[in-house]
């Protein structure tokens, strides 16, 4: 039970950190979206894509150096490639919701655009959380250390995670 509850605490801390960075990213995303919509004549989905890209850059820095700072850093090129791949899928999910609302249903007032942008961010966030923790910011393997005076080993306190 002790090991299970410490794993649950680690997951809770990870979700809280992911949420803090993600929450700030949502503010960046919505702020840039509304700024671009007010300052330019770009169509709503194009303005949204620009805002999403800015938020992706912001979020990478937050995830790498805050949420997942203790994760494997040995393969940065692979990490960055996977982050971009999953971020683009999230961008398509997020902006697909806005596109459907705007061009499929004609819901294109400023309020409606912000509601569907926010809804798209929420749906894409579920996908991003799963993909980033499973594939991008991988946990370091559990290291076994010998116990003094015997052949037994104890695992260190790093979080355990399935490595695909």
pLDDT digits over 22-49, tens only?
Answer: 999 999 999 999 999 999 999 999 999 9
pLDDT at 146: 59
Check: CB of residue 117 under 8 Å from CB of residue 98.
Answer: yes
> What pLDDT does residue 27 have?
97
Q: What is the dihedral of CA 21, 22, 28, 34, to 10 degrees?
A: -170
pLDDT at position 151: 55
Tell me what pLDDT residue 1 has. Answer: 44
pLDDT number for residue 142: 64
Residue 8 or residue 161, greater confidence: 8
- The owner of tokens 């169509």 is 43
Decide: residue 149, CB within 10 A, 0-12 exposed, 13-18 middle, 19+ buried: exposed
Kindly tell me if the per-residue pLDDT of 156 is higher than 70: no
* Pairwise CA distance, residues 120 & 55, whole Å: 14
Compute the average pLDDT of residues 82-97. Answer: 96
**Residues in CB range of 28: below 8 A, 6 or more apart:** 51, 54, 55, 58
**CA dist list (Å): 163 to 39, 134, 136:** 45, 8, 11
DSSP reduced 3-state for 59: helix
> Helix, strand, or coil here: 40?
coil
Residue 91 has pLDDT above 90, yes or no: yes
Locate 157 and state its tokens: 């306190």
Facing residues of 153 across strands? 146
Yes or no: say if 119 and 81 are a contact pair by the CB < 8 Å rule: no
CB 136 within 8 A of CB 82: yes
The pLDDT tens digits of the residues spanning 53-65 come to 999 999 999 988 9
Residue 143's pLDDT is 64
Name the band, by pLDDT with cuts 50, 70 and 90, for residue 112.
Answer: very high
Q: Comparing 5-9, 43-47, 114-118, 136-140, which segment has the lowest mean pLDDT?
A: 136-140
pTM of the model: 0.77
């Amino acid at each position: 039970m002790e090991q299970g509850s410490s794993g649950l605490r680690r997951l809770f801390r990870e979700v809280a950190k992911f949420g803090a960075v993600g929450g700030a990213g949502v503010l960046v995303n919505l702020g840039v979206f509304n700024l671009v919509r007010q300052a330019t004549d770009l169509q709503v989905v194009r303005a949204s894509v620009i805002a999403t890209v800015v938020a992706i850059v912001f979020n990478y820095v937050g995830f790498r150096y805050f949420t997942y700072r203790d994760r494997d850093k040995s393969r940065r090129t692979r990490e960055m490639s996977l982050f971009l791949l999953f971020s683009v899928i999230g961008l398509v999910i997020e902006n697909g919701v806005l596109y459907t609302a705007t061009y499929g249903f004609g819901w294109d007032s400023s309020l409606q655009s912000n509601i569907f942008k926010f809804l798209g961010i929420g749906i894409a966030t579920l996908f991003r959380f799963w993909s980033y923790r499973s594939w991008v910011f991988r946990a370091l393997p559990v290291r076994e250390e010998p116990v003094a005076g015997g052949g037994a080993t104890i695992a260190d306190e790093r979080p355990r995670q399935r490595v695909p």
